Copies of this chain bind each other. A is one copy, B any other.
Amino acid sequence: MARERMGNVYDAAKQLSEGKLVVIYDGDEREGEADLVVGARFARPETVETMRKDGGGLLCVAIGSGDAEKLGLPFFTDLLESSGSRLAAMACAKTAYGDTPAFSLMVNHRNVYTGITDNDRSLTITKIDDIVRSAATASGTTMAEEFRKQFYSPGHVFLLIGRGLENRRGHTELSLWLGEKAGLGAMVLCEMLGSGKALSKEKAKAYAKRKGLVFVEGKEIRAEAERL
């Protein structure tokens, strides 16, 4: 992809490939929310600390649906629906902004202590990236077993499963699309919060500028995805 064509989207993919954070704003018509995003392999403890402090939301790890299948990971709503209990009635069919949730399980790597510290979340996140990258070349059965061996649930890192940009326009899909262009596997996301509400688009943009990060919008990414 030539730089001329991609512009800002190219810059975002480039920054991600270099291990930097980028800010992705989904769009006024959707959540109206900016997320801090980074490649999971680059999630050092300091990165986790920056994301939780400057973001303020949940630290989640997005993986593609093909990888989720290989690792034996269901959507959380599917887990509730298959529980055979009345909890199935709680499964969120559609959020207020119109999408089905991307959540899968919440996990910790088995070598963590509490699971919530920057060191522990960094370990869990980078190990998820390792196994996602191994899954690319290994058989599903082996990898799902390996995943259950390495991780337990419930934990403190929230897995998200991407449905592909053609099906859903969330931060999950936007970051995975950029990550793929950057040659990355799993992606880490954290919502940027302001007082009471989501951090405004203007403030998220100003934050990105101050920190030297690319600020990219969902519509730019989608336009580029359609063009390619």
Contact = CB atoms under 8 A, between A and B. Distances in A.
Nearest to A199: B117
| Interface residues of chain A: helix, strand, loop or mixed (majority) | mixed
Nearest to A107: B90
A110 to B, nearest CB: 9
Given A92-B153, A144-B86, A56 B45 contact: no
Nearest to A190: B116
Number of copies: 2
Interface residues of A, number: 57
Contacts of A90: 105, 107, 148, 151-153
A173 interface: no
Given A83-B83, A87-B105, A144-B86, A92 B155 contact: yes
Interface string A140-157: 000010001001111110
Contacts of A107: 90
B153 A196 contact: no
Given A58-B156, A97-B113, A154-B92, A87 B118 contact: no
A193 B114 CA distance: 11
Interface of A: 31, 33, 45-46, 49, 52-53, 56-58, 72, 74, 76-77, 79-80, 82-87, 89-92, 95-97, 101, 103, 105-108, 112-119, 144, 148, 151-156, 191, 193, 195-198
